[in-house]
Amino acid sequence: MTGLAILFSAKLFSEDLSTNSAAPANADTNAPATSDASATPSTNIASTPDAPVTTDTNAPTAAEIPAAANTNTPPAADALAEGSTNAPAVADTPAPTNTDTPPMVPDAAAATTASTDTKTSAGADASAMADAKASSGLDIPGPTIAFIPPEGSDAAGVTQVALGEYSMFFVVNGRIKVLGSNRADEGGFDKDHGSINIPAKPIMVPANLKFVNVACGGYQTIAVEDTGQVWTWGGNDHGELGIGVVDNDFHIPAPIKTDINGDPFDNVVDVASGFHFFAALKKDGSVWTWGLSGDDKAGYDSTGIVGNGDKTTHNVIRPSKVIFPEGTVITRISAGMNFLMAMDKTGGVWSWGGGKVYESRGTGSRDAATPTKLEKLPSDIKAITAGNGCGYALDSKGNLWGWGYYGGYLGMGDSSDYPRVPLPVKLDFPELNGRVKAVAMSEVTTHALRDDGTLWGWGSSAMGAVGNGTMNDWTKSDPTYTWDWLPYESMVMKPVQVLDGVAAVYGSAQGPYVYAIKKNGEIWSWGRNKTGALGNGIMMSSDTAAKHPDTNDVPTPKRIKPL
């Protein structure tokens, strides 16, 4: 849990929401967040939960899928059906091990497996996302700027990058690789494995699967195949894995086979993750959510994220359909720390969730449980980005519109007055007006990609996440290099150029660090490097990470070779 759980603390909401006092910071810990004892679990608990498809190993090795379940596997687990050649089929009872079931292999092995479908060029490798878009009929968001990294470059074959709190993932040639934290199995390894250093390690899944997207939240990970099948793994305190149970972490990916109504959960084209919840966009333009819809009493309030009018705190343990006005077809989704945004086929933008922090939604409405349209936005919106208590929309003219609880992170106000911005406003940055091609948010910063390939950042750079060299002097913190920080520390109020030649930029509402890929295929990162999330090979001992997590922060972009 990072220091910016700030705005969601119980103390905050005991104060007058009309004030502009700074919200308190919460300390980072080295253990996964526990489920809220007061949360009311969903009554739709299935009697036969989904489960991981193989037994526990500490590292991926080529092996058949064993029939025996490990101690973390729920009873009566589903398994891959015999003879599956494309996607896992639903089985009523565990299937016996058989030689027809595709073996579990790491990416390195999969890449050399003889197959008539193996693609050798970067262009072919990167076609998975484009193929999924074409088959769905929707404009699915892939990388911030869709491009094909040059063959032979550091990012060759990469079609997606996803950042979580302190875990990050690459989709490479349809396979998923991970770096960073594994504290709640979100890295796809048993937690005894510890954090994952370079080179990025492959996730244990059947060799024939091809993934088009991945997302990570606080302690849980989600991915979707080109067939529309969703897989999840990691922490499950609030039913985040969507497999019908609460509690227990699962490091082996499992498919979500049914929704909350017992119907097949399929045809998914995009996924997103908040801190304690997941969201999925289906081919028919419907949106589905699950996980915590409520206040965990530990600093995170996602009340209303289920999007069906229910404002109670409860765990949603299988995918539940979000209720939009009839005829609404959603084409994009974006998850913030505790709220969700969606864009429909007409360019309309919707938001919900986030509990009492109504400014994050940009609607002006205090109703967190009903998707509401942002009426103050222009009609030509082409992209949306949800962050930590803030949101952005990008119009067709290259202008940014922003709103949120933290007006300072939007580049508004000054050190004496950081406003709250409950409705969208057009941001006025002379360096960027009319030239923005994409925007990404970390937990505390914003980065805008200009039409000339230059990358510009602003926000709180306490851990170096802006990328212009600004960072707290952690030698003077008490204790030194500690984890606590307050809103608006080491602020960079207006856009500053931090990199050039950029093709794509990636952030996460859950983490204070940033990745970028240049047009020449180089990969760059900066910000907080707790658990080696920056992919630069610098790791800390668990004791150092617990007591002095800012020892190895990086305040300027550095080229890395994580793959």
Cα angle for residues 259, 263, 266 (degrees, 5° grid)? 70
Amino acid at 406: Y
Number of independent structural domains in the chain = 1
Place 279 in a pLDDT band, splitting at 50, 70 and 90.
very high
- The Cβ-side half-sphere exposure at 265, using a 13 Å CA radius, reads 30
Q: Are strands 349-353 and 339-344 parallel, antiparallel or unpaired?
A: antiparallel
pLDDT, position 49: 56
Write the CB contacts of 202 (distance below 8 Å, at least 6 apart in sequence). 60, 106, 107, 108, 110, 175, 176, 177, 178
Range of the domain at 358: 3-560
**Model pTM score:** 0.79
CATH at residue 505: 2.130.10.30
Place 66 in a pLDDT band, splitting at 50, 70 and 90.
very low
As given in the structure block, the two tokens for residue 257 are: 């086979």
Q: Could you report the per-residue pLDDT of 356-366, keeping only the tens digit for each? A: 999 999 999 99
Q: Decide if 235 contacts 187 (C-beta within 8 A).
A: no
pLDDT, position 303: 97
d(CA 227, CA 268): 8
Q: Could you report the per-residue pLDDT of 470-508, keeping only the tens digit for each? A: 999 988 887 788 777 788 999 999 999 999 999 999 999
Is the pLDDT at 413 greater than 70? The verdict is yes
d(CA 515, CA 523): 7
The pLDDT of 128-148, averaged and rounded, is 46
Placement of tokens 């997207």 in the chain: 213
d(CA 114, CA 263): 36
Is the pLDDT at 10 greater than 50? The verdict is no
